């Protein structure tokens, strides 16, 4: 039995190996020093999380972290892409090279690319005549800054911070009282004996027997609107030692496939994450009927998540373990404004929250509660600033604030809501309300005022650039806070704007269950990994808070090990003698 040490800034990893193992290397100051027969270098990514994601499933069964000090990581800086900057020049060059190209995307299981006859296309939302990808079954239209925040900075942050959280979780060990020692092994949800994943070279594990097949898997079902979410839904269960079947969204296929290829290029072994583009209902039926299902990591609609939950319940007797279900399902997010609020903050925060990425964020503000005394001022400023918002092609015009909505289905749904706003006697369109799908799926930013706070437009998720406003009497702010809490079935994000500290305290208490991410004098969007772990309850999901330290625990099945070092000489207790 060999004892090897892995040293890095702030931690040491001690592990005991009954056989030689492949030991991947950390970069950025982390280096594995081991006696294994081979070392597998990773491409230098500059991301601790990518390295950890690569090597965690290869660690042998007996593993513990010895902390020298806490692991220090930082959020990835967001590049500004100012005119003339190196990052902007490089991006424009890349966009020119990609223009008119269509990338073919297979299913990938292990190392095998699977091409089928059922081929579909992902169209560009701002020019649906351009097919950006064709994919086999078994561009999101973001502006440069939204893409930078999501597909670069936040994705990197998820990998970095989840690696940190996993390391720190390993440091949480129980008390030991002589003559025994106690430890916790943070296993995958259902792993094969021996600690492997089934994808390692047999000589690397020192085994002559046939490869062990994985005993279970996690199904990761990702949405179109955030590349980082897709990488996190698949990456975190894999980081914690699980095999993952990743079903990406049809309308985010190209970005998701890029993330998968980056992970493989960084050293992720085959058979850890399987990239499986698939028809949604077919994929759901298949995974929920498999005895090996260990978990579902989901972001999407409430009806879909409820359907998956019901399927799991119906098939409960066939599973080897109780599947873990984690879901984030959107919201009907609010901005509540008190008469003591700063109007500039209200206007700027609301415009960003409601209309960035065309309102296609699960955290986007879609209902605003304004006091009667401030409404004329807020309304005037909103309409003035709204006229300066440019909707267009973000690949060609960097002055674009948001682009087209994602696809024809979304466009049709939003158009129905605009029709409701025109026909309802309680609603008045203050600005916008036009849409055009002749070239791309473009919808103008729209502000609607309602006299009825219970109108469906204040209750149901639209997922588009539509903001509904209810003006309340100043003296009824407490009643209106209760209205905010009770109007919608969701509980994802919300914000309160006020300078009065007593009002802020009252609002925080009355809206305790209305939002999983609650903002004071700030917009309801823009959570940052490691700073504001994200998620909500009620119809918004299971509130497992990805981006925070508790999320990694969702995808591990801890095993407590007690080892007694002295003999038990007598079965009798002292009181019996």
Catalytic residues: 328
Nearest Cα neighbor of 363 from 372, 354, 351, 376 is: 354
* Euclidean distance between CA atoms 329 and 309, whole angstroms: 13
Q: What is the number of helices (H) and of strands (E) in the chain? A: 14, 29
* Token pair listed for 162: 């989840």
| Longest Cα separation, the chain | 92
- Are 113 and 135 contacting, i.e. CB atoms less than 8 angstroms apart? no
Q: How far apart are CA 555 and CA 568, in angstroms?
A: 36
Determine the Cα–Cα distance for residues 300 and 479; give it in Å rounded to an integer: 32
Residue whose structure tokens are 């269960």:
237
| CA distances in angstroms from 495 to 199, 225, 350, 460, 505, listed in the order given | 47, 22, 10, 18, 13
Helix (H, G, I), strand (E, B) or coil at 426: coil
Secondary structure of residue 557 in the 3-state scheme: strand
DSSP characters over 361-379: STT-EEEEEEETTTHHHHH
Q: Is residue 108 within 8 Å of 114, Cβ to Cβ?
A: yes
Q: Is 92 exposed, middle or buried (0-12, 13-18, 19+ CB in 10 A)?
A: middle
The answer to whether 505 touches 481, Cβ cutoff 8 Å, is: no
Give me the phi and psi of 3, to 5 degrees please: -120, 120
DSSP code string of 239-307: HTT-EEEEE--GGGHHHHHHHHHHHHHTTPPTTSEEE----HHHHHHHHHT-TTEEEEEEES-HHHHHH
Residue 329's SS3 state is coil
Instruction: Give residue 210's Cα distance to chain centre.
Output: 36
Give the single-character DSSP code of 457. Answer: G
Q: Return d(Cα 216, Cα 198) in angstroms, integer.
A: 11
User: Roughly what angle, to the nearest 10 degrees, separates helices 477-487 and 501-510?
Assistant: 30
DSSP conformational letter for 148: I
Cα dihedral 148, 149, 152, 153 in deg (nearest 10): 140
Query: Which of 570, 565, 487 shows the shortest CA–CA distance to 177?
Result: 565
């Amino acid at each position: 039995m060999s004892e090897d040490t892995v040293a890095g800034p702030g931690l040491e990893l001690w592990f005991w190996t009954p056989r030689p193992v492949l030991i991947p290397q950390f970069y950025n100051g982390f280096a594995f020093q081991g006696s294994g027969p081979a070392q597998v270098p990773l491409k230098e990514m500059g991301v601790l999380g990518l390295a950890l994601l690569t090597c965690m499933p290869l660690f042998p069964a007996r593993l513990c972290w010895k902390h020298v000090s806490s692991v220090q990581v930082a959020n990835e800086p967001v590049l500004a892409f100012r005119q003339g900057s190196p990052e902007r020049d490089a991006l424009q060059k890349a966009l020119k090279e990609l223009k008119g190209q269509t990338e073919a995307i297979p299913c990938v299981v292990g190392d095998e690319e699977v091409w089928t006859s059922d081929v579909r296309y992902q169209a560009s939302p701002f020019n649906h005549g351009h097919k950006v990808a064709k994919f086999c079954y078994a561009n999101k239209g973001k502006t440069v800054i939204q893409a930078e925040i999501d597909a670069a900075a936040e994705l990197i942050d998820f990998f970095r911070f989840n690696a940190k959280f996993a390391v720190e979780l390993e440091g949480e060990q129980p008390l030991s009282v002589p003559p025994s020692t106690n430890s916790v092994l943070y296993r995958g949800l259902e792993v094969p004996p021996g600690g492997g994943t089934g994808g390692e070279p047999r000589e690397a594990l020192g085994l002559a027997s046939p490869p062990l097949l994985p005993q279970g898997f996690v199904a990761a079902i990702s949405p179109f609107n955030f590349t980082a979410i897709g990488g996190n839904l698949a990456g975190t269960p894999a980081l914690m030692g699980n095999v993952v079947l990743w079903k990406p969204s049809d309308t985010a296929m190209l970005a998701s496939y890029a993330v998968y290829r980056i992970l493989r290029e960084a050293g992720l072994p085959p058979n850890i994450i399987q990239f499986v583009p698939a028809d949604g209902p077919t994929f759901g039926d298949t995974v929920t009927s498999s005895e090996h299902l260990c978990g579902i990591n989901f972001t999407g609609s409430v009806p879909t998540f409820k359907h998956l939950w019901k399927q799991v319940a119906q098939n409960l007797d066939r599973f080897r373990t109780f599947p873990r279900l984690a879901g984030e399902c959107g919201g009907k997010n609010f901005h509540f404004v008190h008469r003591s609020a700063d109007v500039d903050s209200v206007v700027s925060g609301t415009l960003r929250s409601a209309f960035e990425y065309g309102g296609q964020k699960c955290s986007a503000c879609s209902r605003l509660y304004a006091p009667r005394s401030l409404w004329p001022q807020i309304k005037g400023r909103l309409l003035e600033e709204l006229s300066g918002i440019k909707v267009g092609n973000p690949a060609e015009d960097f002055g674009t604030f948001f682009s087209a909505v994602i696809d024809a289905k979304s466009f049709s749904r939003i158009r129905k809501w605009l029709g409701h706003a025109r026909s309802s006697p309680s609603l008045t369109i203050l600005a916008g309300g036009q849409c055009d799908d002749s070239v791309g799926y473009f919808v103008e930013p729209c502000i609607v005022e309602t006299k009825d706070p219970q109108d469906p437009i204040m209750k149901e998720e639209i997922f588009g650039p539509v903001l509904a406003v209810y003006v309340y009497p100043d003296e009824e702010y407490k009643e209106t806070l209760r209205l905010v809490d009770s109007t919608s079935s969701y509980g994802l994000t919300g914000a309160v704007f006020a300078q009065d500290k007593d009002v802020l305290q009252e609002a925080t208490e009355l809206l305790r269950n209305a939002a999983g991410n609650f903002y004071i004098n700030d917009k309801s969007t823009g959570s940052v990994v490691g700073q504001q772990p994200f998620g909500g309850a009620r119809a918004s999901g299971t509130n497992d808070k990805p981006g925070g330290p508790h999320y990694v625990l969702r995808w591990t099945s801890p095993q407590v090990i007690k080892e007694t070092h002295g003999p038990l000489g007598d079965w009798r207790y002292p009181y019996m003698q």
